[in-house]
Amino acid sequence: MSGAETRAAWIAAARELWPDASVEPVGPGRSAGARRELAFLPDADHPRLLVPAGLPRAAAAALRRYSHDLGVKQRVSRGLTAAAVRTGLPERTLRDRLRITGGGPSIEDRLAELLSRPVVVSVGLGSARANRKPILHVLSPHGEPVAFVKVGDTGTARGLLDGEAAALTYLNEHLAGSGSGARLHVPKLLHHGTWHGLDLLVLEPLPTSALGWRPRGRAPVAEMRALFEVGGVERTALRDSGFWDAMTASPADVLDERQRAAFGEVVETIGKAHGDLPLDFGAWHGDWTPWNMAWHRGVLRLWDWERFARGVPNGFDLLHYRLQEAMRTASGPPYAAWPDGAAAALEPLGPAGAAADATVRLYLLELCRRYLLAAQEPIGEPLRADAERLLTLLHTDLGRIS
């Protein structure tokens, strides 16, 4: 996206959150009569956050959000920036702002009502893709974390929020009863409802900090095993599993005729090759990466449960963690070559030999299905190249298994 398109997307998000208000780009210096002024960090051409101007403690708290996506240098840099912002000194350097005036009850008013206290929000907005949505860090005016909110403003986003609400309800019940909560903490669901045509998923804030950091290359295998076993494990042949029933039905959802035929051929061939193979099926997070987690006081805090599912083969989370992290430092485009070492990486969780090879194929097949369907959405363009490469990769692999 161009700088102008990026700014327009963030301004549009602010207008959704302050309905009927005037939202205008301005320079530094609070204007009389503005109900809220938000500053772009670092600037409007490369925005990472919109933070409340004139409230340095809240702005600093919004910066102190750590995950394993941040290395040591990034953590130190962000910590120093947050400390500086807290003094209020750098505010005059944040030249790109949005001035909000007039309008009716805002998202801050609604959240204050839901949470029974005055709040302000910082706003994040992901890259332009099918699952993009505003993410709000809800803070007290003094910077105390109060909640996190995901805002569903498209059909895709609303569907993901519905899935996450169901997942968190299930997990908070079953983790507490299984003893796995001692290893793994998921956020509590505080509210899920609709406001001004937007779906709101309000979650407790997870404690994260630079303390307790662990190298992100060290996959949390024990915690992945604990999640996999939540709700029980079923051992059955692939062709008799609910996972495979759903997979065989999915080619019909692919709109492009060529892709539908190619994907259907891949599903059919993998089913013939591995259908009789017995596998263990359990739960997975669906997007377990170093940037969706943090350690705090010896407990793993894990967020973004939009893709949680049950009845998937053992090892999907570990494969996702390893392969998604590897792609961030790879020289070529994603999914351009078969991940030859992936089967061996499954050993800590149990799958080996034919089961490991099949699990790698099934993981890539599941990812291909996800990308093909997401790429069909109105803002799915950024995923179309990845979907096509995955489909080509799987189709090329058919010669090795047929």
DSSP 285-318: -SS--GGGEEEETTEEEE---TT-EEEEETTHHH
Q: Starting from the edge strand earliest in sequence, which strands make up the sheet with 278-284, in order?
A: 234-237, 278-284, 309-313
> Looking up tokens 């061939």, which residue turns up?
269
Look over the chain and give the mean of its residue pLDDT values, rounded to a whole number: 87
User: Picking from 65-74, 96-105, 197-206, 270-279, which range would have the lowest pLDDT averaged per residue?
Assistant: 65-74
Domain residue ranges in the chain: 3-203, 221-401
| Res 227 pLDDT > 50 | yes
| Res 117 pLDDT > 70 | yes
**In terms of pLDDT, which residue wins out, 300 or 61?**
300
Cα(190)–Cα(172) distance, integer angstroms: 12
* Amino acid, single-letter form, for residue 109: D
**Mean per-residue pLDDT for 93-100?**
82
**Mean per-residue pLDDT for 107-119?**
97
Cα(68)–Cα(290) distance, integer angstroms: 5
| Res 106 pLDDT > 50 | yes
Q: What are the distances in angstroms from CA 177 to CA 23, 128, 158, 174, 184?
A: 47, 39, 29, 5, 13
Does the domain spanning 221-401 belong to CATH 3.90.1200?
A: yes
Q: Specify the pairing of strand 97-101 against strand 36-41.
A: antiparallel
H or E stretch at 104: none
**186 contact partners, CB below 8 Å, separation of at least 6:** 168, 171, 172, 175, 302, 303, 305
- Residue 329's pLDDT is what? 81
Beta strand spans in 36-186 (E): 36-41, 49-52, 97-101, 120-125, 134-139, 145-152, 184-185
Task: Give the pLDDT band (50/70/90) at residue 213.
Answer: low
User: Picking from 129-133, 301-305, 391-395, which range would have the lowest pLDDT averaged per residue?
Assistant: 129-133
Task: Give the pLDDT band (50/70/90) at residue 44.
Answer: confident
CA-based angle 225:230:236, to the nearest 5? 80
- Residue 130's pLDDT is what? 60
**367 contact partners, CB below 8 Å, separation of at least 6:** 320, 390
| Res 316 pLDDT > 50 | yes
- Residue 194's pLDDT is what? 97
In the DSSP assignment, the letter for residue 39 is: E
Q: Which two tokens stand for residue 247?
A: 């997979």
Output the CA torsion sign for 345, 351, 357, 358: negative
pLDDT in tens, 171-209: 999 987 666 556 899 999 999 999 999 999 999 998 765
H or E stretch at 66: none
**In terms of pLDDT, which residue wins out, 315 or 156?**
315
| Res 56 pLDDT > 90 | no
- Residue 55's pLDDT is what? 80
Residues in the chain, total = 402
| Res 158 pLDDT > 50 | yes
Expressed in angstroms, the distance from the first to the final Cα of the chain is: 42
